[in-house]
Amino acid sequence: MMPVCDSYKIQMRLCSEAIFDSGERERNTVQSKVLSDSYGFVYFHAKTLKGQLKKQAYWLLKQYKTIDEIQKTNYGESFYESIVRLFGFNSQETSKLPEGNKYNSNRGSVPGVMRLSNLELDETIRRYFIQLHQEDLEQDYFRLSPYELINAQTNVRIGIQMEDGVIKNNMFNSYHTVKEGMYFYSNVTFEDVSEVKQPVIDDLARIIYSFKRIGAGIHRGRGEISAQLLVGKDNKPYHTLIASGDGGARNV
């Protein structure tokens, strides 16, 4: 079993177009603008990412409960402890626990130790274009404006609702989608790494590898992803460490 590392990263590849909605309009372009920073890099907010991963964790907990009932194992209970350690727990989340659960839900509010950064493009790419931006700022001429950078990363799609062959009133919507094939990364840190044992990291990897969709519009085919956990400064994929015998004992 490998020791807990102080450097982890989530990698996500978009296998379909995704909607990273900012909740804002962009005048004369789209009614639903993509979430982007001041340079024009699209990103997915860390808080939203953590919420969607937590939702996935509770879905996976239900699968373990079913396995435990069939095989008379106890995977679910230890997995639940990992959820609480990573994401925290509050009394309002009791309803998310599987029916007839044997998990301790009377612990009150507990803060999680995991911290995520925004899901962004690779840092090397970001640094390159930010450097160009700084140089252009000095010359007062931009080779690539934030608007053009957003356009390079997105498509504009139209959504409509029809009734008897006619578009319904106020049911015409234009929005950005992030292009398929792009890679995004989120740094994973822990408030106190000494409190995080290897089985917790193993369970975090299970959550990430089972995570298949992100963003808005997922029920309409948007946001399909392939995700993995990268380990250490050399960004080794977690599953290759598992295959070499350096990971946890339970299958991902």
Q: Supply the DSSP string of 141-156, one letter for each residue.
A: --SS-HHHHHHHHEEE
Closest by CA position to 242, among listed 189, 198, 212: 198
- CA 107, 113, 117, 122 torsion: positive or negative? negative
Residue with more model confidence, 21 or 7: 21
Lowest model confidence (mean pLDDT) among 7-16, 44-53, 104-113, 196-205 = 104-113
For the cut 70, the answer to whether the pLDDT of residue 46 exceeds it is yes
d(CA 19, CA 200): 30
Lowest model confidence (mean pLDDT) among 25-34, 121-130, 163-172 = 163-172
Tokens for 100?
């007839």
Tokens for 143?
């080779």
Tokens for 76?
């679910």
Tokens for 131?
């450097």
List phi, psi (to 5°) of 7. -140, 110
Position 105 scores a pLDDT of 56
Q: Taking the CB of residue 220, how many other CB atoms lie within 10 A of it?
A: 9
d(CA 145, CA 136): 10
Position 219 scores a pLDDT of 84
**pLDDT tens string 225-236:** 999 999 988 889
What SS3 class is residue 176? strand
Lowest model confidence (mean pLDDT) among 28-32, 84-88, 142-146, 153-157 = 28-32
Contact 225, 211 (CB under 8 A): yes
Position 141 scores a pLDDT of 85
- CA 45, 14, 219, 64 torsion: positive or negative? negative
Position 95 scores a pLDDT of 65
Burial 142-171 (b: 16+ CB within 10 A, else e): eeeebeebbeebbeebeeeeeeeeeeeeee
HSE-CB of 63 using CA atoms within 13 angstroms? 9
Q: What is the overall mean pLDDT for the chain?
A: 86
Lowest model confidence (mean pLDDT) among 19-33, 117-131, 180-194, 201-215 = 19-33
245 Cβ contact list (under 8 Å, min separation 6): none
Give the helix/strand (H/E) hosting 198.
helix 198-210
d(CA 132, CA 126): 10
Tokens for 197?
């044992």
Residue with more model confidence, 98 or 118: 118
